[in-house]
Structure 1
Amino acid sequence: MNSFEFYLTSVCGGVLSCGITHAGLTPFDLVKCNMQANPSKFKSVSCVLGQLCEKHGVGALFRGWLPTLVGYSAQGAIKFGLYEFFKIFYADIVGPKNKTLICMAGSASAEFIADIALCPFEAVKLRVQTHPDMTQGFVQAFADLWATQGYNGFYKGLLPLWGRQIPYTMVKFACFEKTVDSIYKYMIPIPKEKCSKAVQLGVSFAAGYIAGVSSAVVSQPADNLFSILSCSSGVCVIDAIKNIGVVGLFTRGLPLRILMVGTMTGAQWGIYDAYKVYAKLPTSRAMARDLKM
């Protein structure tokens, strides 16, 4: 578990789990982003769906799938690959028994680096999804963002992105590992090693869903800020908070995001562990014996 082949498997699993799930949930993300970026225009889910479908057709709900696929594939590769590395690295420092601390530190370190790769694609995706007449594609949005804002346009949302993604990922990984341990300890009467692969993958999905709901709630304020800042030129954090309000910062788009992120995170862990099974590796579980091998 500390070999090049192991980390390569983690990278490939991360590409599949993050790229496919995020791209597949593009309609949910598009509705959420429009509600966050244009709160005065889109006051509810039905309002967004009605206006967009009536004006641009059902196909408009999939706008932004390409930058989503590319951006989150890159992010997933770095996040999952480095998470497995940092998990072992921190276990050598603090000892393998500090599982929650290791998971949180490892996931935060991995996400910090992964977001640098993700941020430009997130900025382009938001520009595509919130464009008033839905006419911009990936290439056009990229060129327009570069022409109007330059390099800063791709990274002006990096701090809010870190604010959203790092707490989200820390909760996502730590809660997942803790939930997996709890399920095997309290709900399944036989050891994990004796469970079928189907049961183990079912546990991964269930634990991932629970972790996704928890991480969505924690990261919601930063998600709102990122959407507003990335879609508006010359708006600072204070302006964004005034625009949406303190209560709106926590609640705007939250039910939809809980549904989206819970489903997505469950699917991510299911796909990630399914790929590990395919590669003849054990499914994820941060047991002390797994952290130093």
Structure 2
Amino acid sequence: MGDEVEALPPGLEDRISWDDLDKRKYYVIGPSVFIFVRAAVYPSNLVKTRLQVQSRTRPLYNGTFDAFRKIVRQEGFLGLYKGFGASLLNIFIGNLYISVYEFTHKLAMENVTDTPSTANFISGATASVVNQTVIVPLDIVSQRMMIDGQGGPDMQSKTRHRTQGLMSIAKDIYRTQGVRGFYKGYVPSILTYAPSSALWWGSYGVVWPHYYRLLNFDIDPMWRQMIAQAFGGGTAGVVTAIITNPMDVIRTRTQIHTQFGAVDTFKYLIKREGIPGLWTGAVARVMAMGPSGVLVITAYELVKRLSRKTHDAVHV
């Protein structure tokens, strides 16, 4: 296969492609596994969202760890999972993302490039654009649920506020803004997630073979590859989280503070909070995307192995 595998060590040429998968197994096993992945990183995403939308002049939380502590104290442990039900729906829609990713990756390798990391970059961006078109409405509802029921500045006592459910918030958005309300911040979402997805998959494709070479102790090649991929996914998550945080702040504020568009949100943020405002929630985002990168790629490779067509099984 030569150049197609970028001179990877022997045995790593065996990428499980889209055509190798039993789609019936894949669409059942995939969502089942990723429920646990999303549950593991959801609290960090919730904290990141709250930090991004709070005012720096009258903040409710003094940083990431203070936010975790105050949310649990005032709203209980389940307060870290507000909006999780709406978020779970994203997992099933996520099948669309990975299907587009794999199909585009195949086309890119056949018609555009013979370099896997470049194909990763192209297919990651394409999949994200398609996915965001479907998923933005759920993101908006989930984000509103995340911030619903926050306490006052003293944060001393448990809130008695009864948080709204998915349908209640959805009806409120439709009543006040119409269908357009569900696509508030669509452009910032594309400008956040398309580069984020492209950067994540592209950097992952570049980084993990280097980890494979560093792990030169005597272990089974399959385990060596899986460990390298996990480290690669985590590294790609951290890099992506840091680079794309400014657009994520603008996206989140645009979707929650409905009186501003993306450009007005950016101007307001710079005027009131300066450049540091663009890095609000960066630590929480790294805490979400770093471990998420490890879990997602490990789960993804596991799902592909479990979903592989039996007659195409390989001997490791």
Q: Normalising by the residue count of structure 1, what TM-score does the alignment of the two structures yield?
A: 0.84
Contact 2:229 2:297 (8 Å CA) reproduced: yes
Which of 192, 198, 204 is the equivalent residue of 1:176? Answer: 204
Contact 2:48 2:284 (8 Å CA) reproduced: yes
SS across alignment from 2:100: helix
Alignment map for 1:37-56 (pairs within 5 Å): 37-39=53-55, 40-42=58-60, 43-56=62-75
Q: Which residue of 2 aligns with 1:201?
A: 226
Is 1:236 matched with 2:261? Answer: yes
**RMSD (Å) for aligned C-alpha atoms:** 2.6
Quick one: structure 1 residues 34 and 225, their matched pair in 2 at CA, closer, same or farther if it must change by over 3 Å? same
Is 1:77 matched with 2:95? Answer: yes
Measured after TM superposition, the shift of residue 134 of structure 1 is: 5.8
* Misfit runs of 4+, over 6 Å: none
Is 1:62 matched with 2:81? Answer: yes
Measured after TM superposition, the shift of residue 189 of structure 1 is: 6.4
Contact 2:22 2:307 (8 Å CA) reproduced: no
| Cα distance between partner residues in 1 of 2:294 and 2:69 | 29
Is 1:257 matched with 2:257? Answer: no
Q: Which residue of 2 aligns with 1:20?
A: 36
Contact 2:26 2:307 (8 Å CA) reproduced: no
Which of 83, 101, 104 is the equivalent residue of 2:121? Answer: 104
Quick one: structure 1 residues 11 and 172, their matched pair in 2 at CA, closer, same or farther if it must change by over 3 Å? farther
Letter in 2 for 1:128: M
Identity %: 18
| Cα distance between partner residues in 2 of 1:12 and 1:170 | 26
Measured after TM superposition, the shift of residue 103 of structure 1 is: 1.5
Contact 1:67 1:138 (8 Å CA) reproduced: yes
Quick one: structure 1 residues 156 and 105, their matched pair in 2 at CA, closer, same or farther if it must change by over 3 Å? same
Contact 1:12 1:77 (8 Å CA) reproduced: no
Q: Which residue of 2 aligns with 1:288?
A: none
| Cα distance between partner residues in 2 of 1:136 and 1:121 | 15
Question: Which deviates more, 247-256 or 45-54?
Answer: 45-54
Gaps of 5+ in 2: 1-16, 150-160, 310-316
Quick one: structure 1 residues 183 and 250, their matched pair in 2 at CA, closer, same or farther if it must change by over 3 Å? same
Which of 99, 108, 117 is the equivalent residue of 1:90? Answer: 108
Letter in 2 for 1:153: G
Quick one: structure 1 residues 271 and 130, their matched pair in 2 at CA, closer, same or farther if it must change by over 3 Å? same
Measured after TM superposition, the shift of residue 212 of structure 1 is: 0.4
Measured after TM superposition, the shift of residue 183 of structure 1 is: 2.2
Contact 2:42 2:80 (8 Å CA) reproduced: yes
| Cα distance between partner residues in 1 of 2:36 and 2:68 | 23
Give per-residue Cα distances to partners, 1:78-117, cap 9 Å, x unaligned: 2222111111101222242x33322111111111101112
SS across alignment from 1:3: helix
Contact 2:230 2:298 (8 Å CA) reproduced: yes
Question: Which deviates more, 1-10 or 169-178?
Answer: 1-10
Q: Which residue of 2 aligns with 1:136?
A: 164
Give per-residue Cα distances to partners, 1:245-274, cap 9 Å, x unaligned: 342343211111111110011100001111
| Cα distance between partner residues in 2 of 1:212 and 1:50 | 25
Whichever structure has more helix as a proportion of its residues is 1
Letter in 2 for 1:244: L
Which of 51, 56, 76 is the equivalent residue of 1:35? Answer: 51
| Cα distance between partner residues in 1 of 2:146 and 2:286 | 20
- Quick check: which has more Rg, 1 or 2? 2
Gaps of 5+ in 1: 282-293
Contact 2:42 2:288 (8 Å CA) reproduced: no
Letter in 1 for 2:189: L
Is 1:149 matched with 2:165? Answer: no
| Cα distance between partner residues in 2 of 1:118 and 1:272 | 20
Quick one: structure 1 residues 8 and 218, their matched pair in 2 at CA, closer, same or farther if it must change by over 3 Å? farther
Measured after TM superposition, the shift of residue 280 of structure 1 is: 4.0
Contact 2:105 2:119 (8 Å CA) reproduced: yes
Aligned residue pairs: how many? 277
